[in-house]
Amino acid sequence: MVKGINQRISTIIEHFNFNNSEFADEIDVPRSSISHLISGRNKASLDFIIKVKARFPKLSWDWLINGEGEMFVEEKPKEKEEEKGTPTLPDLFAHIDDENFGVTEKEDTILSETPSEFPIAIQSQEETKIDDSQRLEIKENENNSQTIENQVSKIIKIVWFYDNGKFESFEP
C-alpha cells in the first residue's frame, strides 16, 4: 500500500515513464504543481485528481484517492457482457384487444357533449363587459368634474425665465 497521494502520483509517473513536466503536460496542469505535490509542499486538489483520472481512466479510484486495492481497475471479461445482450422491452400495446384503439372521436360528438358550457361562459363575459363600461362612465364623470374645478381656479403668479439667467415675476 502506497502511503500518501504524493507517492501515488510518483508511482503513476514512473509507471508511464514520464518526467514531471511531461506528466504535467499530459494532465494539463502547471508544471510547478507536480513538483510541489511530490515534495509534499501542496496537497492534491479534487480538480487535480479528476484530471489524472480523466487522462488515465484505467486507474482505480480507490487506489488513487485512498491507496487501497490495485492500481488499475480489472477489466471484466467481455464474454459475460455479450451473453447478456441488450434486454428487450415489453411492447406496451401488445395486450390491448380493443377494436376502437387508435380511433379518434368525431368533432360532432365532442361538441354535443358540452354545449351547455358555452352559453354560460358567454353570459359571464357580457356581464363583465357591462361592468367595465359602467366603470368607464364613472371615470369620465370624475374627469369632467376635475376639469370644471380647474377652470374655477385663479392664477396667483406668473414667472418668466430668460436665457441669460434673469427672470421676472408677475402677480395679478
Q: Which domains does the chain have, with CATH numbers?
A: 5-66 (1.10.260.40)
Place of cell 486507474: 59
pLDDT band at residue 14 using 50, 70 and 90 as cut-offs: very high
CA distance 158 to 163: 17
CA distance 53 to 38: 17
Q: What pLDDT digit, counting tens, does each position of 84-134 carry?
A: 566 677 676 666 766 666 666 655 555 555 555 555 555 555 555 556 666
- Position 64 scores a pLDDT of 87
Amino acid at 44: A
pLDDT band at residue 152 using 50, 70 and 90 as cut-offs: confident
Annotate 52-63 with b (16+ C-beta within 10 A) or e (fewer).
bbeebeebbeeb
